[in-house]
Amino acid sequence: MLPDVKHIGHGLPDHDSLVARDARHVLHPWADLSTLGTQESLIIAEAHGIEVADSAGRTYLDAIGGMWCVTVGYGHPELVEAMAAQARKMAYFTPFGDVSSEPAARLAAMLADLTPGDLNRVQFTTGGSTAVESAVRIAHYYFASRGQAAKRHVLSRVNAYHGGTYLTASLSGKSADRTLFQYESDWVHHLESPGYDPDTSPVSAAERLDGLVAGMERAIAGIGAENIACFVAEPILASGGVLVPPPGYHEATLELCRRNDILYVSDEVVTGFGRLGHFFTSEAKFGVVPDMIVTAKGLTSGYQPLGAVIVSDRIAESLAANADRDKPVFSNGFTYSGHPVACATAVANIEVMRRDDVCGHVLDVGPYFIRRLRELRSSSIVAAVRGDHLMACVECHVPGEDGPTARNQALARRVDAYCEEAGLLVRPYENLCIMSPPLIITRGEVDRIVDIMADSLARAEHDLR
């Protein structure tokens, strides 16, 4: 899918001093503070196709997809050209009020076309967190403007990840991230984590579903439906550990929302844009038409920061019809909401994905990826392999020890380090090795990932003896 062949791995002449400058001056997102000042960061300097190269000149197969986001591969000439052309033509102008840009108008119409039902109104943001946060603000405004200001509580789930702003971090439910920050808890509620693994679960999928639905019903009754604005949910929980809910979960939770006049916000920041073989999975895969869909990451294949919340006409029309007559301004948005260069990149990305049938490719290679990864379950240090199409994880454990214990986390870090040594980047989280490769990955590259994972697991298993 990439016409030009490019050699990467040249390295940078000032590699050592870059590492030193990074260690001295950068406060990395999600950094381990115990290594502040001494960390030796991997500085990624070049990338092409599904490979990246660091500043020392070492190359790696990128099984992380940047960060769930690089879909059509690195260095795609059409995306690069779209970015450059828009920057030359008009790099930036305010998106506020009644001002817009050509790429934003084009992209909004394309997104309306790609989303199900009457989701036709797009508010652009700067990324996933700002899009989730905007969705909650829209839900709040929607109910407040209809005289139901009490409806402002938000339902999320344990193990969810919705972003790094204060509100979206409050919505997130990963215990590892719940550190010294004081998150909003008066009106944010976490339902049970909905993952279901048929390989390891002691109960049937139907029993698990019943339990989850009953839990949500109890939570709604306890809080009071008259106080709840929305339910925010990733179709498959991504960075919380690639947790796949039991069949029927999405329909059942949507039905509960409908019955209780709670808006359903589908966070498709990871699951959207082809990772599961569809532009959006809510309806295509899970049979639900949400009130709002949030997207980011794969929207631009990670080439530019951009997010969007796509809202139903029903909600958008209500916002307009019931707006405060004295102050009808919807006061939400950012300087770089729908940045023209980012929107032009997304337009090119969608055109490439459609033309090359990238989703069709994922529907073919995705099941092969999961099938091959599942072979790794024969290792004694693999507790589980979970996933769907091109989002997956390998859960590591010291045999007989369950969960993200300190020893299990250390073991996963060791597997991760062996992978890196062998030229494969996977993403460590607790005792998991998470994978979300670019969608253009071939079967041969899947085999390389599985081979390196198998060797790394064998080395780590040997170290335990």
Closer to ligand PLP by CB, 38 or 179: give it: 179
Contact with ligand PLP (CB under 6 A) among 238, 359, 434, 435: 238
Residues between 257 and 286 with contacts to ligand PLP, criterion CB under 6 A? 267, 269-270
Closer to ligand PLP by CB, 53 or 302: give it: 302
H helical segments located in 228-380: 249-259, 281-284, 313-322, 340-355, 358-374
Number of residues that bind ligand PLP (CB under 6 A): 15
DSSP label of 87:
H
Closer to ligand PLP by CB, 310 or 460: give it: 310
- The residues, any chain, with a CB within 8 Å of residue 451's CB and separated by 6 or more, are none
Closer to ligand PLP by CB, 296 or 449: give it: 296
Question: Is residue 128 involved in binding ligand PLP (CB under 6 A)?
Answer: yes
Cβ(209)–Cβ(252) under 8 Å?
A: yes
Question: Is residue 233 involved in binding ligand PLP (CB under 6 A)?
Answer: no
Question: Is residue 309 involved in binding ligand PLP (CB under 6 A)?
Answer: no
Closer to ligand PLP by CB, 163 or 277: give it: 163
Of 126-134, 149-157, 322-330, 335-343, which part binds ligand PLP (CB under 6 A)? 126-134
Cβ(274)–Cβ(359) under 8 Å?
A: yes
Closer to ligand PLP by CB, 19 or 338: give it: 338
Q: What is the DSSP string of 296-313?
A: -GGGGTTSS--EEEEEEH
Cβ at position 10, least distance to ligand PLP in Å: 30
Question: Is residue 235 involved in binding ligand PLP (CB under 6 A)?
Answer: no
Cβ at position 296, least distance to ligand PLP in Å: 5
What does the alpha-carbon distance between residue 327 and residue 282 come to, in Å, rounded to a whole number? 35
Cβ(135)–Cβ(99) under 8 Å?
A: no
Question: Is residue 133 involved in binding ligand PLP (CB under 6 A)?
Answer: no
Cβ(52)–Cβ(42) under 8 Å?
A: no
**Inter-helix orientation angle 128-145/313-322, to 10°:** 50
Question: Is residue 304 involved in binding ligand PLP (CB under 6 A)?
Answer: no
Closer to ligand PLP by CB, 3 or 29: give it: 29
Contact with ligand PLP (CB under 6 A) among 49, 95, 103, 127: 127
Cβ at position 270, least distance to ligand PLP in Å: 5
Of 111-119, 122-130, 329-337, 437-445, which part binds ligand PLP (CB under 6 A)? 122-130
Cβ at position 166, least distance to ligand PLP in Å: 13
What does the alpha-carbon distance between residue 332 and residue 326 come to, in Å, rounded to a whole number? 17
3 state SS of 323: coil
Q: Using CB atoms, what's the residue nearest to ligand PLP?
A: 128
Closest to 399 (Cα-Cα) out of 340, 311, 464, 332:
464
Closer to ligand PLP by CB, 174 or 414: give it: 174
Question: Is residue 132 involved in binding ligand PLP (CB under 6 A)?
Answer: yes
Report residue 148: phi and psi, to 5°. Answer: -120, 55
Question: Is residue 129 involved in binding ligand PLP (CB under 6 A)?
Answer: yes
Cβ(358)–Cβ(208) under 8 Å?
A: no
Counting Cβ atoms within 10 Å, is residue 170 exposed (0-12), middle (13-18) or buried (19+)?
buried
Counting Cβ atoms within 10 Å, is residue 403 exposed (0-12), middle (13-18) or buried (19+)?
exposed
DSSP label of 235:
S
Q: Amino acid identity, residue 391?
A: M
Closer to ligand PLP by CB, 240 or 418: give it: 240
Question: Is residue 234 involved in binding ligand PLP (CB under 6 A)?
Answer: yes
Contact with ligand PLP (CB under 6 A) among 123, 239, 300, 349: 239
Residues between 392 and 451 with contacts to ligand PLP, criterion CB under 6 A? none
Cβ at position 44, least distance to ligand PLP in Å: 17
Q: What is the DSSP string of 176-197?
A: GG-SSS----SSEEEEPP----
Cβ at position 306, least distance to ligand PLP in Å: 9
Cβ at position 214, least distance to ligand PLP in Å: 25
Counting Cβ atoms within 10 Å, is residue 210 exposed (0-12), middle (13-18) or buried (19+)?
middle
Cβ(118)–Cβ(312) under 8 Å?
A: yes
Contact with ligand PLP (CB under 6 A) among 121, 140, 157, 162: 162
Token look-up 């729908």 returns 338
Closer to ligand PLP by CB, 297 or 374: give it: 297
Binding site residues, ligand PLP, CB under 6 A: 127-129, 132, 161-164, 234, 238-239, 267, 269-270, 296
